[in-house]
Structure 1
Amino acid sequence: MANGVFDIELPDVPVEVDDSDDALEIEEDQYDQNPNINEIVESADIETVPLTEQTVNPGQEKTGPQDFELRKVLGKGGYGKVFQVKKITGKDANTVFAMKVLRKASIVRNQKDTAHTKAERNILEEVKHPFIVDLIYAFQTGGKLYLILEYLSGGELFMHLEREGIFLEDTACFYLSEIILALEHLHGQGIIYRDLKPENILLDAQGHVKLTDFGLCKEHIREGILTHTFCGTIEYMAPEILTRHGHGKEVDWWSLGALMYDMLTGAPPFTAENRKKTIEKILKGKLNLPPYLTADARDLVRKLLKRQVSSRLGAPPEDALAVKQHQFFKHISWDDVLSRKLDPPFKPSLTSDDDVSQFDTKFTKQTPVDSPDESTLSESANLIFQGFTYIAPSVLEEIYKPQIVKARSPRKTGTPFRHHFGLSIEPAHGHNLEPHCSYLGGMHHMGHHNLGAFGAQHTNHSHTNNFNNDEMMEISSAVPQV
């Protein structure tokens, strides 16, 4: 052996090649050089296949605004609208969806908004879970982005909490258990949710939870990696977000504790007459627990709202496992939760698949109009949204399912076409200081109240993450800088 190369002596043995099966000898007079095509087509042993886009050039279904009939307005925001729509073409014709429409010109003005819009679309494509809203289609026109999501007719958990005032512990336990499994799945995918609150939790027609609004999520977070984006809703923000020390997945467990407290008492644990004082309470205030809470509920809230990150229930490495094992959930079968076998405490009273009774009549009574595309983006600006188009695999499987035909020959039909888009965008760092809607992550409103799941403006609730310059200075003076 020399220079790391093996010298191998091969015996000089003749190799016999039997190509008799491969040989094809045809005399020129054995086939017709000028065949009669019509005669061949009409032959009994020839199968005919219609020439369609699917058979000639199979690929993704071409879907656009023209394929959807506007039914109701469900909300409005600074960047666009959300509608209830019915699909009028394709295999899923007559299916009701929620259509979120965003104006590109409004989004591209702010780099963070562009990044958050892309992040939401990518996360919705990648994450499929029983308690997370499904993205069915995504497409774009010259001036607008469209997200077609499953229509969740049960409305916001926020609205039901507002009506009830507080939840019984069994009711809160049901909703918390489904939310925990959704957060566990996101964390397992390296995603921090960062905006858990009642407005971002929708109910489906059966009353089960669906997390929405992924515009503030952070992707690609591995253990030990911290991010520093200042974002979320103040009343549910973990202390480490406010202090800018850097944060990880533990912030979602703090928010879960704040949400649990809200469900059981009627308000988040730390609130005040202005944002500065609210932040001071989150950082230093005493946690007051009402005496009517059970010992297990009090213990869980305390452990979730630990300011010391490493001491907080759900801190690595256990994450959701530690939360699931708490005594508050001692009667819960987590397999039954995942399979949606638990009976929801609230079952929406609905008359049809397109019932909008659980949403604000301020919007549902408006005439649904998708305003014309008036703005034209430059070619370079439009490149920002390259790869936005998406079709759910379940839709593609249905579209390209083998068709049963009366074939004249025993040929097998092909396998269904499957397609997957693997685009992944890293959200930009920075301050996302505008409120957004849960179904409509990234659709901002310039007022001082949060938009709800479909853009409904809740004037009777204190949750907000919309700041003007004076308020931002006020907040900065209340938060220690690092």
Structure 2
Amino acid sequence: MMFTGGSHTKKRTNNSSNKKSSSQDRIERSRLNCQEIRVRYAGRPPPINPSRVRQIVQDGELDDFDGAIFTNGIARRRGAIKHQKVHEVKGHKFVAKFFRSPTLCPFCKEFLWGFGKQGYQCQLCQCAVHKRCHDKILGKCPGSGKESQSTIYLRERFKIDVPHRFRIHSFMSPTFCDHCGTLLYGFFKQGLKCEGSKRSPSPFEDTTPTGSTSASRRNSAKSSTSSTDESDSSTEVESDSEVARPLTEPPARNRPKFRKYGAGDFVFLKVLGKGSFGKVLLAELKNTECYYAIKCLKKDVVLEDDDVECTLIERKVLALGTKHPYLCHLFCTFQTESHLFFVMEYLNGGDLMFHIQQSGKFDEHRSRFYAAEIVSGLKFLHNKGIMYRDLKLDNILLDYEGHVRIADFGMCKLQIYLDRTADTFCGTPDYMAPEIIKGLKYNQCVDWWSFGVLLYEMLVGQSPFSGCDEDELFYNICNEKVAYPRYLSKEAISIMSYLMEKDSTKRLGTPYCSMGDICDQPFFDGIDWKRLERKEIEPPYKPKVKHVLDTQYFDPGFTAANPQLTPVDKDILASMDQVQFKGFSYTNPNTTD
């Protein structure tokens, strides 16, 4: 029986060592004032210790405390994460995976290769099978029973845990691992072989779990992420001065005709954003004066991450968003052989993360206005049975008038009505609710927790929870209380404390909440919700956009790039299963004539 050689576990070390402070610096923490705290953390954003801040405020040690500890601001953007869908069969925990090298399925003895034969891999024992084979497994996962009570009893009773005698072996011909199906690489000593076994038994046979090999013991559950980056090609970018528009006109001044659109109908002008998913481009519809933001996804990345369903859900929610003023509106979707395209309204006011980084924080009036429009959009989604799950500053954009739009619906979950729940671990770590972190079932209440974190960041300019790594951050979210600076009003503190309630059944925004409806909270006194939904309330801030191609509210590192798509390798294109994207193309009748 052959197995690939064991992988070496890398240990993360912290290079920064605790240095001894000078005698003048050895003063009691209780006597530190705001200026001393700022000096000690100069040059790096310090993690907030909520317990310490509350103690300082309650003990009256900082009589003039005005939130100086919270003045470092949000210095970076935070990406969302999502664990893959897990298919549990006989103890195996299969997740979809793209295999870049020839891999043999131990069940049907056929190769897994290309997007058309993308397979599953167990997170525990690393065995790889076709999608069509994963539900036909008869034997249990070796990793699922190695720590069971019966296994521990037998191991301690008889002191026997060596069913195979593995030795390093040099294979003279191409050989595949009998467990994970991967080709054993190298010219000599490519892997391990059992001395007492002349054949290579299938890992799906119902054998005793005590036979777990040293290689499979070292394998741990992994979350598959894609780090595919988009590269740029050379092309000329149209000058900003060529097209000038008054500030009172939207980027799309008229409604195009209802028809099927394709890549040849648009001219790409600038890059607005870029990530592992692809690019967001500013484009002009040919022979019109309509400008749109086009989100371009690489099909190979979508297939590799098993995100086809999420992409189709995003299209459905975007199409639904045209019925509400504070959701991003979809114009159309289309596809090419290598890419998927979402054509959306161009929101040239930038996102709230950009504005927070520029101004540090918002005043209460401005924060209240943005929060009210976000509440209106969230309640619309929840009434439609949609759970958003990725509410953050980066996903709230401003239009040319200063009104907000909720964008990026790739994390949405549909049909969450009544007692239906979800359990997927997804979202941006700083905004995750405690029930997501703990692996509990949850519903739309997680959006109201994220809304409380977002409101805190707008008012304070700092995240309510922090940590040196994700483990510490998640611990603080689940256990620590939030510290509020003194300059916040009682109404603001009250609504944020209700929103960031760790017990999801008591959280503000949930049905039958004892605090009432979120729109009736004192913080929103003075908001006429009917006028708000008709966009009749004047925004407190209007973006100073000079013309339609003015991208001053977007990262210059993106806008300076060349607006072209990266070509995909012909071999990858030939192996793609295009059937999975059938029905993706769509033209929104609500935004066309």
TM-score, normalization: structure 2? 0.55
Task: Please report how far the alpha carbon of residue 389 of structure 1 lies from its aligned counterpart in structure 2 after TM superposition.
Answer: 0.6
Whether contact under 8 Å (2:508, 2:516) holds in the other structure is no
Instruction: Determine the structure 2 residue equivalent to 1:249.
Output: 444
Counterparts of residues 56-67 of structure 1 (less than 5 Å): 61-67=259-265
Whole-angstrom CA distance in 2 between matches of 1:372 and 1:272: 40
Task: Please report how far the alpha carbon of residue 334 of structure 1 lies from its aligned counterpart in structure 2 after TM superposition.
Answer: 0.3
Whole-angstrom CA distance in 2 between matches of 1:382 and 1:320: 50
Say which SS state the counterpart of residue 581 (structure 2) adopts. coil
Q: Deviations over 1:426-445 (max 9, x none)?
A: xxxxxxxxxxxxxxxxxxxx
Gaps of 5+ in 2: 1-256
Task: Please report how far the alpha carbon of residue 310 of structure 1 lies from its aligned counterpart in structure 2 after TM superposition.
Answer: 1.2
Q: Tell me if 1:72 matches 2:266.
A: no
Whole-angstrom CA distance in 2 between matches of 1:138 and 1:354: 22
Whole-angstrom CA distance in 1 between matches of 2:540 and 2:515: 23
Whether contact under 8 Å (2:352, 2:397) holds in the other structure is yes
Task: Please report how far the alpha carbon of residue 165 of structure 1 lies from its aligned counterpart in structure 2 after TM superposition.
Answer: 0.9
Whole-angstrom CA distance in 1 between matches of 2:538 and 2:470: 38
Counterparts of residues 85-96 of structure 1 (less than 5 Å): 85-89=283-287, 93-96=288-291
Whole-angstrom CA distance in 2 between matches of 1:64 and 1:201: 28
Q: Give the percent of matched residue pairs that are identical in Structure 1 and Structure 2.
A: 37
Q: Tell me if 1:205 matches 2:389.
A: no
Instruction: Determine the structure 1 residue equivalent to 2:319.
Output: 125
Task: Please report how far the alpha carbon of residue 286 of structure 1 lies from its aligned counterpart in structure 2 after TM superposition.
Answer: 1.7
Whether contact under 8 Å (1:184, 1:320) holds in the other structure is no
- Of structures 1 and 2, the one with the larger relative CO (CA 8 A, separation 6+) is 1
Whole-angstrom CA distance in 2 between matches of 1:234 and 1:377: 34
Gaps of 5+ in 1: 1-58, 399-482
Say which SS state the counterpart of residue 402 (structure 2) adopts. coil
Say which SS state the counterpart of residue 311 (structure 2) adopts. helix
Task: Please report how far the alpha carbon of residue 167 of structure 1 lies from its aligned counterpart in structure 2 after TM superposition.
Answer: 1.1
Q: 1:123 to 1:352 in 2, by over 3 A?
A: same
Moved over 2 A (4+): 317-321, 370-380
Q: Deviations over 1:48-99 (max 9, x none)?
A: xxxxxxxxxxx9623111110111111221232111000004xxx2200011
Aligned residues: 335
Instruction: Determine the structure 2 residue equivalent to 1:383.
Output: 579
Q: Tell me if 1:329 matches 2:527.
A: no
Whole-angstrom CA distance in 1 between matches of 2:515 and 2:342: 30
Q: Tell me if 1:177 matches 2:372.
A: yes
Task: Please report how far the alpha carbon of residue 315 of structure 1 lies from its aligned counterpart in structure 2 after TM superposition.
Answer: 1.1
Whether contact under 8 Å (2:321, 2:330) holds in the other structure is no
Task: Please report how far the alpha carbon of residue 321 of structure 1 lies from its aligned counterpart in structure 2 after TM superposition.
Answer: 7.1
Q: Tell me if 1:300 matches 2:498.
A: no
Say which SS state the counterpart of residue 84 (structure 1) adopts. strand
Q: Tell me if 1:392 matches 2:582.
A: no
Task: Please report how far the alpha carbon of residue 387 of structure 1 lies from its aligned counterpart in structure 2 after TM superposition.
Answer: 0.8
Amino acid at match of 2:334: F
* One of 47, 65, 82 as aligned partner of 2:280: 82
Q: 1:253 to 1:320 in 2, by over 3 A?
A: farther
* One of 260, 264, 278 as aligned partner of 2:455: 260
Amino acid at match of 1:101: C
Instruction: Determine the structure 1 residue equivalent to 2:345.
Output: 150
Task: Please report how far the alpha carbon of residue 377 of structure 1 lies from its aligned counterpart in structure 2 after TM superposition.
Answer: 4.0
Task: Please report how far the alpha carbon of residue 105 of structure 1 lies from its aligned counterpart in structure 2 after TM superposition.
Answer: 1.1
Whether contact under 8 Å (2:300, 2:576) holds in the other structure is no
Say which SS state the counterpart of residue 145 (structure 1) adopts. strand
Whether contact under 8 Å (2:258, 2:589) holds in the other structure is no
Q: Deviations over 1:158-193 (max 9, x none)?
A: 111111111111111000000000000000110011
Amino acid at match of 1:70: F
Q: 1:256 to 1:267 in 2, by over 3 A?
A: same
Task: Please report how far the alpha carbon of residue 371 of structure 1 lies from its aligned counterpart in structure 2 after TM superposition.
Answer: 3.1
Whole-angstrom CA distance in 1 between matches of 2:342 and 2:333: 5
Task: Please report how far the alpha carbon of residue 247 of structure 1 lies from its aligned counterpart in structure 2 after TM superposition.
Answer: 0.6
Whole-angstrom CA distance in 1 between matches of 2:301 and 2:312: 14
Q: Deviations over 1:289-346 (max 9, x none)?
A: 1111111111101111111111111111469971101010011100111111222122
Whether contact under 8 Å (2:260, 2:586) holds in the other structure is no
Counterparts of residues 277-426 of structure 1 (less than 5 Å): 277-317=472-512, 322-375=517-570, 377=573, 381-396=577-592, 398=593
Whole-angstrom CA distance in 1 between matches of 2:489 and 2:517: 20
Q: Deviations over 1:202-240 (max 9, x none)?
A: 000011000001001111101111100100011111101
Counterparts of residues 37-56 of structure 1 (less than 5 Å): none
Whether contact under 8 Å (1:197, 1:259) holds in the other structure is yes
Q: 1:320 to 1:157 in 2, by over 3 A?
A: farther
Whole-angstrom CA distance in 2 between matches of 1:380 and 1:258: 41
Whole-angstrom CA distance in 2 between matches of 1:252 and 1:82: 25
Whole-angstrom CA distance in 1 between matches of 2:562 and 2:515: 44
TM-score, normalization: structure 1? 0.67
Whole-angstrom CA distance in 2 between matches of 1:201 and 1:157: 6
Whole-angstrom CA distance in 1 between matches of 2:377 and 2:314: 16
Q: Deviations over 1:126-154 (max 9, x none)?
A: 23210011110100011110110100000
Counterparts of residues 87-126 of structure 1 (less than 5 Å): 87-89=285-287, 93-111=288-306, 113-126=307-320
